[in-house]
Amino acid sequence: MSYVKPKFRHPKLPTNSLGYSVADYDGAISTLCAGCGHDSISAAIRNACFKSAIPPHRIAKLSGIGCSSKMPTYFLGRSHGFNSVHGRMPSVATGASLANRELTYIGVSGDGDTASIGMGQFVHLIRRNVNMTYIVANNGCYGLTKGQDSATADLGSVAKGGAVNPFDGIDLASLALLQGASFVARSFSGDKEQLEPLIRAAMAHKGFAFIDVVSPCVTFNNHAGSTKSYAETRAHVDAMQLDFIPMREEIRTQYEAGTSQTVTLHDGSVIHLQKASSDYATDDRAAAMQAIQKAEAEDKILTGLLHLDPNSQDLNQLLNLANKPLNELDKDELCPGSRVLDSINQGLR
């Protein structure tokens, strides 16, 4: 096969600033169940990368195991992907990010993958503030192994077989906040207006950006009685609207005074938040915690950008790593040579 130029593009398809069309961010055809929330998340990721004009090959997609973790096959076909082992994508992503600090890393996981088997790695990923976007497609169950309750299933949620969940669910967004995550958001797979700008903001953030996305499993957890069904989520969601304005782009929309908040990211990008019922400054971790709890008490699911730490330092900075990606260092930069070894020998005599 000789060198082929990038695929022929339909002249009418709009392109981003790099000249890529949205189709250049497509992946393989999804094999998930029709209507699965995860497919909407895939689409949102694709659109976010397209709109933010990130070269597809400069993105690496990582996942664990589960229906959700299959998602990376279905977007960004020109990016390298790694479908690793159940619950342990965080460590693989950490290693990848240490090896090359210049790529954009997107991790996709499930509630089983993150809140159960991968809980240990998840909290440590937060603790290390690895520079990546980490999305949990949260359906309250194990889709791939046929619908068992997951650890995020809400207390009292009724499983398809009729069993009532007797345990308190783990709220991953609260956990991430408590553990000091520098970017915490929650969203709903059915709300692409909110999800897309959130993903764009997450990718622009320097450090660990967590998005918990309620993503209904149509096959095992979308019935009456389930708290993670489409209907139930729609009925209780309390969504902030937000715009993401990348650096160098002008803010055009006029926002009504007092109803909104502007958050500036380290690279100069801006997030414009239209508050829903609660009103607090997103850099205030404790206020974010309170807002989540208040919404919960009112039987609402607060979605949007919950917290952002503008002073975030990512793992590469915390470890004082060289500016050049470690995987590009050559022999001369790595190997001290024979003279040094001779002096080491001398010290051992």
Partner 1 sequence: MKKIKGVNDFVVKFANVNGTGSASANHLFAKTIFRMGIPVSPRNIFPSNIQGLPTWYEVRVSKNGYLGRRGGVDLMVCVNPQSMEKDVASVDPGGYFLYDSTKPLPTHLKRDDITYIGIPLTQMCMQEFEVPRLQQLLKNVVYVGALAALLNMDLSMVKDLLADQFKGKEKLISSNVQALEIGYQYALENYKCPLAIRLENGNADAPHIAESEHILMNGNTAAALGAIYGGATVAAWYPITPSTSVVDAFSKYAERLRIDPGTGKRNYAIVQAEDELAAIGMVVGANWNGARAFTATSGPGLSLMSEFLGLAYFAEVPVVLINVQRSGPSTGMPTRSQQSDVLAAAYASHGDTKQVLLFPATPRECFDMTVEAFDLSERLQTPVILMSDLDLGMNDWMSPPLEWDDKYEMDRGKVLDAQGLDEAEKWGRYLDVDGDGICFRTLPGTHPDKGAYFTRGSSKNEMAVYSESGEDYVQNVDRLLRKFDTAKTYVPTPKTHPPIEVKKPKTKLKIGTLFFGTSASPSYEAVEILAEEGIPIDTMRIRAFPFHNDLDDFIHDHDLVFVIEQNRDGQMRQLIMNECQIAPDKLTSVLNYSGTPITARAIAGKIRETLNTHSADVVALRPETA
Residues that bind partner 1 (CB under 8 A): 1, 3-4, 6-7, 55-58, 60, 62, 72-73, 77-85, 88, 90-100, 102-103, 120-121, 124, 128, 319-323, 326-327, 329, 331, 333-338, 340-342, 344-345, 348-349
Q: x-or-dash pattern for ligand TPP, window 108-127, by CB under 6 A?
A: --xxxx--------------
* Distance in Å, CB of 81 to ligand TPP, minimum: 16
Instruction: In angstroms, give the least distance from the CB of 35 to partner 1.
Output: 22
CA distance 57 to 22: 14
Closest residue to ligand TPP using C-beta atoms: 110
- Closer Cβ to ligand TPP, 60 or 135, answer by number: 135
List the x/- string, 54-83, binding to ligand SF4 by CB under 6 A.
-------------x----------------
Reading the block at residue 165, the tokens are: 């969940």
x/- contact string, 137-176, with ligand TPP (CB under 6 A)?
x-x-xxxxx----x--------------------------
Q: Which does 218 bind (CB under 5 to 8 A by kind): partner 1, ligand SF4, ligand TPP, none?
A: ligand SF4
Is the distance from CB of 147 to CB of 116 less than 8 angstroms? no
Task: Determine which helix (DSSP H) or strand (DSSP E) holds 223, and give its type and residue range.
Answer: none
The Cα–Cα gap between 242 and 261 comes to 9
Residue 222 as a binder of Mg ion (CB under 5 A): the answer is no
First to last CA, the chain: 59
Residues numbered 61-80 forming contacts with ligand TPP, rule: CB under 6 A: 65-68
Identify the burial level of 8 via C-beta atoms within 10 angstroms of its C-beta, where 0-12 means exposed, 13-18 middle and 19 or more buried.
exposed
DSSP state of 133: E
Residues 199-258 binding ligand SF4 (CB under 6 A) are 217-220
Smallest distance from the beta carbon of 216 to ligand SF4, in angstroms? Answer: 8
**Distance between CA atoms of 180 and 191, rounded to whole angstroms?**
26
Q: Which amino acid is at 99?
A: A
Alpha helix segments (H runs only) across 13-53? 37-51
Please tell me the distance from the alpha carbon of residue 258 to that of residue 238, in angstroms, as a whole number. 19
Task: Kindly indicate which of the ranges 45-53, 123-131, 138-146, 306-314 contains the residues binding ligand SF4, using the contact rule CB under 6 A.
Answer: 138-146
- CB neighbour list of residue 120: distance below 8 Å, 6 or more residues apart: none
Q: Which of 311, 333, 332 is nearest to 323 (CA)?
A: 333
* Contact in structure between 282 and 308 (CB atoms under 8 Å): yes
Report the DSSP pairing between strands 132-138 and 104-110: parallel
| The one among 33, 151, 178, 287 contacting ligand SF4 by CB under 6 A | 33
Residues found near ligand TPP in the complex (CB under 6 A): 65-68, 86, 110-113, 137, 139, 141-145, 150
Which residues contact ligand SF4 by CB under 6 A? 32-33, 36, 38, 67, 139, 143-144, 217-220
